[in-house]
Amino acid sequence: MTHDDFLGLKRFPALDGVRAVAALLVVFFHYGGPGFLQGWLGVQIFFVLSGFLITTLLLREHARNGRISLARFYRRRAFRILPMYFVVLFVTAVGLLIAGQLWQNPLGRDFPLYLVFFNEFGHGGAYGQSWSLGVEQKFYLVWPLLAFVLLPRWRPWVTVGLMTLALAVVPFTVSSDPKGWPVHYFTVLVGCAVALLMNNRRGFALLRPFMVPWVIVLFIGVHLAVPLVSSALDGAIPGFVSVVPIYAVAAGLTLPALLAPGLPQRLLSARPMVWLGERSYSIYLVQSIAHSAVLLSGASGLLMAVLTSLVAIGIADLCHRFVELPMIERGRSRTRDVVQRDLTGV
């Protein structure tokens, strides 16, 4: 694939497949799947993809128009993220309230944090998986403003500076209740950095050696090695904080192999994978609701993971049809912008 080929791509269907894998990794990990899958790393994959896709969208808008519209960007993000998020939040809260468990659940105690997307400072519970939305929403607010409006000429240095800052403050954000939240911004910025390189002709040439299938094999090896490294490093700083930067870089360097023609790209672009990827946001959000339904069956272990995943997919399909798509279309009609749809399928 040449640089011109990359710039000419209107969609990245393989990334839909990656989102499908990441979402199901998270569900399996939470509800009885094999520990070696390390589903919490699926969230890191989402972060890298978010940084890459959002930055690519902004770069192409800037190349086309000579500027970006923050108003259109924020409107698109709002229509894409907020409706489904708040639907699941309130359904979860009402379910707990009916069951008489809301105030005993961390969601009840931390509900104000969830309303303003400071989820990563909460304490888990029935909607605990939404902590990642807190990280992403703040990224959406700050990154376009800083890198494309205030300091566009210094964009590469802004990226490097923010990555360095994110790692530098991690030790000050870890406690007995390990958060280490800045490290997740490093992961998102890895995706941003890959997008900046891929959209630059010289940067693209630097990443071209990674456009081969064996890079995927190496990444799988890194993924499987993470539990061992994390356990070995676990101490004053939690192991996951120690390995996330390495894993993020590995995930970022795998992106070129997923975009270039080849077997991995074809497999991840298959219709079932794209179908799941389009529903991955809802799958991720409704997993607790799906698990509550499956609990009635008495299943456990791997069977629990499989059934929860299937139920989550079913609920997510309904949410995608009746919540996500109508709101996405409304956002498009207000912005009259099709680039979002062309690149990401949403």
Task: State the Cα–Cα distance between residues 288 and 92, nearest whole angstrom.
Answer: 8
Copy the structure tokens of residue 345: 């399928």
Question: Any idea how long the chain is?
Answer: 346
For the chain, percent of residues with pLDDT exceeding 90: 79
106: left (phi over 0), alpha (psi -120 to 50) or beta: alpha
Reported confidence tier of residue 336, pLDDT bands at 50, 70, 90: low
Predicted confidence at residue 339, as pLDDT, reads 46
For the chain, percent of residues with pLDDT exceeding 70: 93
Reported as a single tens digit per residue, the pLDDT across 218-275 is: 999 998 888 777 766 665 556 678 889 999 999 999 999 999 999 999 999 999 999 9
- Residue 38 domain boundaries: 3-344
State the maximum Cα–Cα separation within the chain, in Å, rounded to a whole number.
Answer: 59
Inter-residue contact 221 to 82 (CB < 8 Å): no
Reported as a single tens digit per residue, the pLDDT across 292-322 is: 999 989 899 999 999 999 999 999 999 999 9
Predicted confidence at residue 171, as pLDDT, reads 86
Predicted confidence at residue 230, as pLDDT, reads 72
Inter-residue contact 329 to 321 (CB < 8 Å): no
Task: State the Cα–Cα distance between residues 89 and 97, nearest whole angstrom.
Answer: 12
Copy the structure tokens of residue 210: 């990674």
Reported confidence tier of residue 39, pLDDT bands at 50, 70, 90: confident
For residue 82, which amino acid is it? L
Task: State the Cα–Cα distance between residues 93 and 139, nearest whole angstrom.
Answer: 26
Q: Is 88 exposed, middle or buried (0-12, 13-18, 19+ CB in 10 A)?
A: buried
**Residue 124 backbone phi and psi in degrees, to 5:** 80, -140
Task: State the Cα–Cα distance between residues 134 and 119, nearest whole angstrom.
Answer: 5
The yes-or-no verdict on residue 342 having pLDDT over 70 is no
In the block, residue with structure tokens 């956002």: 331
Copy the structure tokens of residue 150: 């205030």
**Residue 42 backbone phi and psi in degrees, to 5:** -60, -35
The yes-or-no verdict on residue 92 having pLDDT over 60 is yes
Reported confidence tier of residue 40, pLDDT bands at 50, 70, 90: confident
Task: State the Cα–Cα distance between residues 58 and 68, nearest whole angstrom.
Answer: 7
Domain count, the chain: 1
Q: What is the pTM of this model?
A: 0.94
Summarize the confidence of residues 127-156 as an average pLDDT. Answer: 95
In the block, residue with structure tokens 């409706």: 83
- The H or E element that residue 301 is part of is helix 301-319
Reported as a single tens digit per residue, the pLDDT across 95-125 is: 999 999 999 999 999 999 999 999 999 999 9
Inter-residue contact 319 to 325 (CB < 8 Å): no
For residue 220, which amino acid is it? I
